Amino acid sequence: MNWDVVDLGGWALWQQETEGDNEKQWYVEPSSGQRWLFKPNRPDRSPFESHAEVIASRIAELLDIPAAHVELAMLGDSSGCISKNVLAP
């Protein structure tokens, strides 16, 4: 399993995500223009919260179940995960 962590330092902020209770932001991947949603780990949760999302994403892929593609990510000192936008532009 790939546990690489994507560094969002060179990615452009596209917009804030207003849905949901937790702070999230959309970023644009420089090489593809693809939008990804960054969800930082919440301080009151396990530091492995984002790992659970990556594992669920990989299991869905293995079982051929439609699900967002998720990767571990860092933005400055903030760790979390990014979820690839599944909606058509």
Domain total in the chain: 1
Residue 87: alpha-carbon gap to chain centroid:
15
Per-residue CA distances from 37 to 4, 19, 34 (Å): 17, 12, 10
Domain residues for 33? 5-78
User: Is residue 85 included in any domain, yes or no?
Assistant: no
User: Is residue 69 included in any domain, yes or no?
Assistant: yes
Confidence bin at 83 (pLDDT 50/70/90) = very high
User: Is residue 83 included in any domain, yes or no?
Assistant: no
User: Is residue 86 included in any domain, yes or no?
Assistant: no
Q: Which two tokens stand for residue 81?
A: 């995960």
User: Is residue 23 included in any domain, yes or no?
Assistant: yes
Query: What is the average pLDDT score of the chain?
Result: 90
Per-residue confidence (pLDDT) for residue 2, from 0 to 100: 53
Average pLDDT over residues 26-37: 95
Given a cut of 70, is residue 22 above it in pLDDT? yes
d(CA 59, CA 56): 5
User: Is residue 88 included in any domain, yes or no?
Assistant: no
User: Is residue 20 included in any domain, yes or no?
Assistant: yes
User: Is residue 84 included in any domain, yes or no?
Assistant: no
Average pLDDT over residues 26-49: 92
Confidence bin at 1 (pLDDT 50/70/90) = low
